[in-house]
C-alpha cells in the first residue's frame, strides 16, 4: 500500500502548488511534507529490505522498462490543474475516488508507476521468470540484459526487489 500511496503522491504536489497559489500556504506545506514522508518511507523500506527479506536466486527470461503506464498517472497528477480554484475542489468526490483508485491498484496486481522513486534512483522493470511468471522488479541498476540480476527478495506476490549490487545499502 505504501508503494501505491507514494505513486499518487505527485497528485499531492500538484494540489500543493494550486493551494500555494491560492494563498493556502499551510495546506501546501502539509501536502509537500506528506509527499516527502511517503517517498522517504519507501526508500527506507527498500534499503531495509536488503537485510530482512529472504534472498533467492532469480533467472529472468525477459526484461523491459515498466514506465509505459505513466500516461494515465500523468493525467491523474495534472487533474488538480483543471479546476478554477483550490477552494472549489470537490473533496467529497476526490477523496473516495483516490481511495478506490489506490484500493484497486493494490488488490488487482496492477503495476503502479512511481516517478518520485525514480527521482531518487530506483528503476522499475517488467521481468519474466524462466517459468513464465511476470513480475515488476525494483532495482537501482540500469538493466540492459537478463543476466544482470542474481538475487532478489519478494515484496508482494508480483513485485520483486533486487538485493545485490547497487541496492545493497
Say if residue 148 is exposed, middle or buried (CB neighbours under 10 Å; 0-12, 13-18, 19+): middle
Identify the pLDDT of residue 94: 63
The domain of 29 spans 2-167
Stated as kind and residue range, the H or E segment containing 118 is helix 115-119
Beta bridge partner(s), residue 16: none
Instruction: Return per-residue pLDDT of the chain as tens, 169 residues.
Output: 667 667 777 778 877 887 888 888 998 999 899 988 888 888 888 888 888 889 999 999 999 887 655 555 666 666 655 655 556 666 666 667 667 766 666 665 555 567 777 778 888 898 999 899 999 899 999 888 888 998 999 988 888 999 975 444 4
Quote the number of domains for the chain.
1
Amino acid at each position: 500500500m505504501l508503494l501505491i500511496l507514494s505513486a499518487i503522491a505527485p497528485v499531492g504536489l500538484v494540489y500543493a502548488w494550486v493551494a500555494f497559489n491560492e494563498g493556502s500556504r499551510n495546506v501546501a506545506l502539509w501536502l509537500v511534507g506528506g509527499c516527502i514522508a511517503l517517498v522517504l518511507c519507501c526508500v527506507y523500506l527498500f534499503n531495509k529490505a536488503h537485510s530482512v527479506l529472504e534472498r533467492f536466486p532469480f533467472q529472468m527470461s525477459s526484461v523491459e522498462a515498466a514506465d509505459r503506464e505513466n500516461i494515465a498517472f500523468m493525467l491523474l497528477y495534472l487533474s488538480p490543474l483543471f479546476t478554477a480554484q483550490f477552494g472549489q475542489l470537490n473533496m467529497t468526490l476526490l477523496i473516495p475516488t483516490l481511495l478506490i483508485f489506490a484500493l484497486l491498484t493494490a488488490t488487482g496486481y496492477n503495476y503502479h508507476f512511481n516517478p518520485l522513486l525514480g527521482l531518487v534512483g530506483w528503476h522499475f522493470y517488467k521481468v519474466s521468470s524462466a517459468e513464465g511468471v511476470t513480475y515488476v522488479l525494483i532495482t537501482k541498476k540500469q538493466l540492459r540484459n537478463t543476466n544482470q540480476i542474481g538475487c532478489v527478495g519478494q515484496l508482494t506476490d508480483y513485485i520483486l526487489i533486487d538485493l545485490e549490487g547497487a541496492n545493497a545499502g
